Amino acid sequence: MEPFTFVLPSVVYLAAITFVPFVYAIVISLRQFDLLNPMAGHPFVGLENYAEALGSGRFWSSTFTTLIYVTTAVGLETVLGLAIAILFSQEFPGRRVARAMVLIPMMTTPVVIGLTWRMIYDPDAGILNYAASLLGLGSHAWLADPATSLLAVVAVDVWQWTPFMILMMLAGLESLSPDHLEAASIDGASPWQTFWAVMLPQLAPTLAVAVTIRALDAFKTFDLIFIMTNGGPGTVTENLSMYAYKVGFVYFRFGDGTAVAFLFTILVSVLLGVAVNRVLFSGGRNA
């Protein structure tokens, strides 16, 4: 029996659950698929759904919201994760317990986190406004105010996923060459000079991988926004995942929703492809 025969069932199974839905989604995106207008059928419309999405102001507004969400959340998580990882790399009482406790947000489901933080942000009974009142500040509707709603959701994302960056940075710090750190100490380098000139260049590959993984996940954020704001107030917190969902499953325009999803996929692939190519592989070409 040929070796290929043994892997054939797995290949067929993977093809069935991967390529068949993918091809079917492409077919839907090229057709008018409006469940609120069943009499129109599903005629082939070519790239009309894509052109309609690209001409929609709401699509570009969602794209802008997505980019703001990803850059702000991942940037803060990277800085905080690196700072806390450096702290956890030092010896202090209770370090092992602190390392374990900091992982709790990452292991909690997004639905639980979203509902918990909705109660914390509640303008009438939330603990955040209670703490503000002790400082003499007034109550604020954090999730209902367009000026603070997106930042409030980003803050929850940072709270949940900074532990992931801490783990990645701790792994990177453990792999640093002690010889370079010892040489910097002998040369009289200050802690900041040691961090900037010795530690950070060696951590660059770990940072690039961690940021890429988190950015990929942050681009796809849906559950947290769905639970906390449902894209509101208005469309202030509506990212591309939420917009594609609403077009497909709230307005029942499956053809348009699928086209938005494919445009979203292309956008993420291009942005991360360029970033990964510049960060991870530029060093190899320059060598």
For residue 87, pLDDT beyond 90: yes
- Distances, alpha carbon 65 to alpha carbons 171, 234, 287, in Å: 32, 13, 38
The token pair at 189 is 């380098």
> Could you state, in order of their start, the residue ranges of all structural domains in the chain?
15-283
**pLDDT, position 287:** 41
**pLDDT, position 40:** 82
Question: Residue range 226-252: average pLDDT?
Answer: 94
**pLDDT, position 284:** 47
> From 3.40.50.720, 3.90.800.10, 1.10.1760.20, 1.10.3720.10, which CATH number describes the 15-283 domain?
1.10.3720.10
3-class state of residue 100 by DSSP:
helix
Which one, of 204, 218, 213, 215, lies nearest residue 281 by Cα? Answer: 204
Which one, of 261, 57, 236, 64, lies nearest residue 253 by Cα? Answer: 261
Which one, of 71, 165, 157, lies nearest residue 117 by Cα? Answer: 157
Whole-prediction pTM: 0.89
3-class state of residue 229 by DSSP:
coil
Question: Residue range 228-244: average pLDDT?
Answer: 94
pLDDT band per the 50, 70, 90 thresholds, residue 136:
confident
Side-chain-side CA neighbours of residue 271 (13 Å): 16
Question: Residue range 274-284: average pLDDT?
Answer: 67
Question: Which residue type sits at 149?
Answer: S
For residue 280, pLDDT beyond 90: no
pLDDT band per the 50, 70, 90 thresholds, residue 6:
confident
Q: Report CA Rg, the chain.
A: 24
Average pLDDT value for the chain: 90
pLDDT band per the 50, 70, 90 thresholds, residue 281:
low
- Distance, in Å, from the CA atom of 237 to the CA atom of 235, rounded to the nearest integer, reads 6
For residue 104, pLDDT beyond 60: yes
| Cβ burial, residue 59 (10 Å; 0-12/13-18/19+) | buried
For residue 283, pLDDT beyond 60: no
Query: What's the helix, strand, coil split of the chain in %, to 5?
Result: 75, 0, 25
Question: Residue range 273-277: average pLDDT?
Answer: 79
3-class state of residue 9 by DSSP:
helix
pLDDT band per the 50, 70, 90 thresholds, residue 117:
very high
**pLDDT, position 1:** 60
- State pLDDT tens for residues 140-178: 999 999 999 999 999 999 999 999 999 999 999 988 888
**pLDDT, position 148:** 94
Question: Residue range 205-224: average pLDDT?
Answer: 92
Side-chain-side CA neighbours of residue 112 (13 Å): 7
- Distance, in Å, from the CA atom of 185 to the CA atom of 60, rounded to the nearest integer, reads 51
- State pLDDT tens for residues 7-37: 888 888 888 888 888 999 999 999 998 888 8
Number of other CB atoms surrounding residue 249 within 10 Å: 12
